[in-house]
Structure 1
Amino acid sequence: MGETWVLMKTAQTPTNIAVIKYWGKRDESLILPVNDSISVTLDPAHLCTTTTVAVSPVFQQDRMWLNGKEISLSGGRFQSCLREIRRRASEVEDKEKGVKIEKKDWEKLHVHIASYNNFPTAAGLASSAAGFACLVFALAKLMNVKEDESQLSAIARQGSGSACRSLFGGFVKWIMGKEEDGSDSVAVQLVDEKHWDDLFIVIAVVSSRQKETSSTSGMRESVETSLLLQHRAKEVVPKRILKMEEAIKNHSFESFAQLTCADSNQFHAVCLDTCPPIFYMNDTSHRIISYVEKWNRSEGSPRWHIHLMLGRMQF
């Protein structure tokens, strides 16, 4: 290898909005959920993370910048993603630059990461999902990882649970899995983005402030204190997953809207059933919900479904 070269890769990954929610982990360290979930991936032209990763022998340590501000990579979730990608890295050769990186070299080389969100970070629009998905995908390209998106999703999941779903377009299912090591907890694409191309999504950001209760601590408290969450995971979600898959397959907006609204309502009910209770909506959110519900009733059938997140907590 030369002494002053730099290799770079850039990736762009959209955020996703869950229509059947992920809320609660059965394993905190591996980020294994208590139930399956289904999401729709948004158009990357509107809401996305763009990440550039670079490697060079002159870099002294791994470093990362988010929206121009350097952040620490010491956290366990970042380290898990970096470790798993390095473990799967392959030989890379750039003949134009005269650079050849052997598989064993990746353990010694450091990376620099620059990531940018074109939407408010930590305001409820799944910035961590898009961020970790983009980070894992960009690093996989840089280090010539041979695994497919579903296999990569198991790595992205260890950064942020819903990140596994942002590696695909269209509608995506995150399978909770049963193995203790999380090897079967992966995302799979149900249908691509062309399947339901007349479905439009409007995001109403009612506040760009960072949410008061993080998803990590909120989920932990719900798992520990909410009896409703346990009932939801075991009895309600498995049936809703099947109905939602059918609604998506058949382009049944009425069924899709009813299931999404019911699941979102139950998510917020679980938050209220948590001790101490968690509040993720404000007065503006409630007013918008009321307006849309009245509009749908006046039409006689759902013209819109109101995804009861409205810029807050998109899981």
Structure 2
Amino acid sequence: MAEERGLAMVTCTAPVNIAVIKYWGKRDNDLILPINSSLSVTLHQDQLKTTTTAAASRDFAEDRLWLNGEEADVGHPRLQACLREVRRLARKRRGGSDEDAAPLSLSYKIHIATENNFPTAAGLASSAAGYACLVSALARLYGVEGELSEVARRGSGSACRSMLGGFVQWQRGERPDGRDSLAHQVAPETHWPELRVLVLVVSGEKKQVGSTAGMQTSVDTSPLLKHRAEVVVPERLALMMRHIRERDFEGFGQLAMRDSNQFHATCLDTFPPIFYLNDLSRHIIALAHRFNAHHGRTKVAYTFDAGPNAVIFTLADTVAEFVEVVRCSFPPAANGDQFVRGMPVGSAALPEELLAAVVMEPVPGAVRYILHTKPGPGPQLVDDPSQHLLGSDGLPRRRA
């Protein structure tokens, strides 16, 4: 933490997570309590992360927030809920003593700056990483330790899963106050070293129907969603945790695809229906099934959150071949040298029989780029003061 002249500043980073057993629907909108438990994979921050700097000072006249360089509404109810909860925990930790006597008064106004290195609101779990990062930075700023997934959940439900690395379950919980609706690590990021993730970015545009509004409409109108939450998900959760513990990619991949399909089926069962997938999403789904059929087993598995971008799970020895299949199916536009980003990908020569069986009519330029990553850790503290997003005046630094 940087401290000078009554200014305290902390910077943290936090990861994106991708659910393989989906969360969709709340039973309490204020506390953000889900109608079913869920399970996700935390992605590595070397490729996908949010960075947040939180600063408090006696000299700040008002709370302020900057998102990706633009000033935003600091009064957003969910942001305020997280801030209130962290301050409550800080006050409790201080034993209810006079807050103005503490080194960092809880009455000081705060400035927050946050940046994503991936498209915001495009179905890549930006709110999960954002609120996990916010809560991590605020907790460090105020000296709060311990269980924080419940606090992050107040900002965005899936944010509680981004508070941990590796493979994470968000338990539905039973208590009406939500105190038992928490995230728990099923296995660390080191548990399955061969697992790889390919994010096929087809759109960076904002979703037409936001997740919050979509969930509520589904809860109100979809009988399939109720059946899914009560009957299907509990069995799938137990099965998915077993596949992860045993590193069984066949079982893991098949179940991830089935759960993604059922999630989007509930969106279609919603009235009016919600369409998060587009024609290109369906093209990628068909490509994955043809690829697996050619090999006679599950070598790649797709999942889609509330957006058209595909997340493909596979193993390290399959990455190069499948990336080349995607390149042939969706030939890159002018930025071909930037088509594959993130972790290095080797080259692969495709046999003629695979090309004939898997690659149908190419769609040039449809996939903007592929991001290659793997499971990663939870939120991290940034020790280097030069990485703060705010300067000593509490205002955003100019970026070169």
User: Which TM-score tier does this pair reach, normalised by the shorter chain?
Assistant: over 0.9
* Counterparts of residues 99-138 of structure 1 (less than 5 Å): 102-103=101-102, 106-138=105-137
Asked if 1 retains the 8 angstrom alpha-carbon contact of 2:25 and 2:216, the reply is yes
The equivalent of 2:149 in structure 1 is: 153
Deviation >2 Å, runs of 4+ = 2-5, 100-107, 308-315
1:17 matched to 2:15: no
CA deviation string 1:285-305 (max 9, x = no partner): 111111111010110001101
Determine the C-alpha separation between the residues in 2 that align with 1:313 and 1:298: 24
Structure 1: unaligned runs, 5 residues or longer: 93-99
Asked if 2 retains the 8 angstrom alpha-carbon contact of 1:206 and 1:310, the reply is no
Asked if 2 retains the 8 angstrom alpha-carbon contact of 1:18 and 1:314, the reply is no
User: Per the alignment, do residues 264 and 154 of structure 1 end up closer, same or farther by CA in structure 2, a change over 3 Å counting?
Assistant: same
User: Per the alignment, do residues 289 and 314 of structure 1 end up closer, same or farther by CA in structure 2, a change over 3 Å counting?
Assistant: closer
CA deviation string 1:195-218 (max 9, x = no partner): 011100000111100000000000
Determine the C-alpha separation between the residues in 2 that align with 1:71 and 1:160: 17
Asked if 2 retains the 8 angstrom alpha-carbon contact of 1:22 and 1:33, the reply is yes
How far residue 8 of structure 1 moved from its aligned partner, in angstroms, is 0.7
* Counterparts of residues 230-245 of structure 1 (less than 5 Å): 230-245=226-241
Paired residues, number: 304
The equivalent of 1:142 in structure 2 is: 141
User: Per the alignment, do residues 104 and 275 of structure 1 end up closer, same or farther by CA in structure 2, a change over 3 Å counting?
Assistant: farther
* Counterparts of residues 157-306 of structure 1 (less than 5 Å): 157-306=153-302
How far residue 74 of structure 1 moved from its aligned partner, in angstroms, is 1.2
SS in 1 for 2:274: coil
User: Per the alignment, do residues 104 and 26 of structure 1 end up closer, same or farther by CA in structure 2, a change over 3 Å counting?
Assistant: farther
The equivalent of 1:88 in structure 2 is: 89
Asked if 2 retains the 8 angstrom alpha-carbon contact of 1:89 and 1:143, the reply is yes
User: Per the alignment, do residues 60 and 313 of structure 1 end up closer, same or farther by CA in structure 2, a change over 3 Å counting?
Assistant: farther
Asked if 2 retains the 8 angstrom alpha-carbon contact of 1:261 and 1:305, the reply is yes
How far residue 102 of structure 1 moved from its aligned partner, in angstroms, is 4.1
CA deviation string 1:11-69 (max 9, x = no partner): 00010000000000000000000000000000001000000111110011111101000
How far residue 152 of structure 1 moved from its aligned partner, in angstroms, is 0.5
Asked if 1 retains the 8 angstrom alpha-carbon contact of 2:199 and 2:310, the reply is no
Asked if 2 retains the 8 angstrom alpha-carbon contact of 1:126 and 1:314, the reply is no
Determine the C-alpha separation between the residues in 2 that align with 1:85 and 1:196: 34
User: Per the alignment, do residues 310 and 304 of structure 1 end up closer, same or farther by CA in structure 2, a change over 3 Å counting?
Assistant: farther
Determine the C-alpha separation between the residues in 2 that align with 1:296 and 1:308: 18
The equivalent of 1:51 in structure 2 is: 52
Determine the C-alpha separation between the residues in 2 that align with 1:89 and 1:314: 40
Asked if 1 retains the 8 angstrom alpha-carbon contact of 2:278 and 2:308, the reply is no
Asked if 1 retains the 8 angstrom alpha-carbon contact of 2:50 and 2:129, the reply is yes
SS in 2 for 1:136: helix
Determine the C-alpha separation between the residues in 2 that align with 1:201 and 1:310: 18
Percent of paired sites with the same residue: 52
The equivalent of 2:67 in structure 1 is: 66
The equivalent of 1:96 in structure 2 is: none
